[in-house]
Amino acid sequence: MKIITYNVNGLRAAVGKGFAEWLAAEQPDILCLQETKLQPDQYPALVFEELGYTGYLFSAQKKGYSGTAILTRQKPDHVQYGMGIEKYDNEGRFIRADFGDLSIVSVYHPSGTSGEERQAFKMEWLEYFQTYAVKLQAEHPNLILCGDYNICHEPIDIHDPVRNAKNSGFLPEEREWMTRFLSAGFVDTFRRLHPEKQEYTWWSYRSNARTNNKGWRIDYCMASEPVMPQIKEACILNNAVHSDHCPAVITL
């Protein structure tokens, strides 16, 4: 089984940049998307159905904003939309699909870059998300949490850790949360399999950041420990250019 997570920064825009052709070549079994930025009636279903994928979407109430989705070739046994908290679910940030004893989540953590109010919202979300994920893991031990976490954990995950130390996404309190989250029974699959690789999943559109590889690794395929013996590979597809992010992949 091949699982890909990808913040597409607008699914319709990505389709216009060759996303469907890329998907046909990669052929993941399950594709977790973030920042779909569309309503269900705007979803280009035919494009993906022709490739064999059924899409399950959880859109934000605000149009053109946020949103998560899971595209899959295999029909899930159950799909869970949201986490049951209105202020988070209104932003379409969490969707889960169950396949037998394996549960797969697409999650889009808030960004705090727009100011103190959203940074506070992000920190509250992170605490609730961890509590929710730990409880979910107790019910579904084989759990994969794919998505844009909007946090670099360690200096190896960011191109300039010194200058970014006071920027949202690499703040001490965010990094400390990530450490606690991983200590609660979750694994950063890419870092576990590649402890010394310095690769990124997001680059600013400014200052030729991608050309100069001044990036951040903020997109993760997290897994519960019981899943780890099944994971054969974890990698980053940094040649995919449909977004300011690129995909992260795990193979089971």
Residues with a catalytic annotation lie at 148
Asked if 224 contacts 143 with a C-beta cutoff of 8 angstroms, the reply is: yes
φ, ψ dihedrals at 113, nearest 5° = -75, -15
Runs of H (alpha helix) within 27-115 = 45-49, 86-89
SS3 sequence of 155-183: HHHECCCCCCCCCCCCCHHHHHHHHHHHH
Cβ-contact 103, 96 below 8 angstroms:
yes
Cβ-contact 74, 61 below 8 angstroms:
no
Instruction: Give whole-number Cα distances, 217 to 15, 103, 169, in Å.
Output: 23, 24, 10
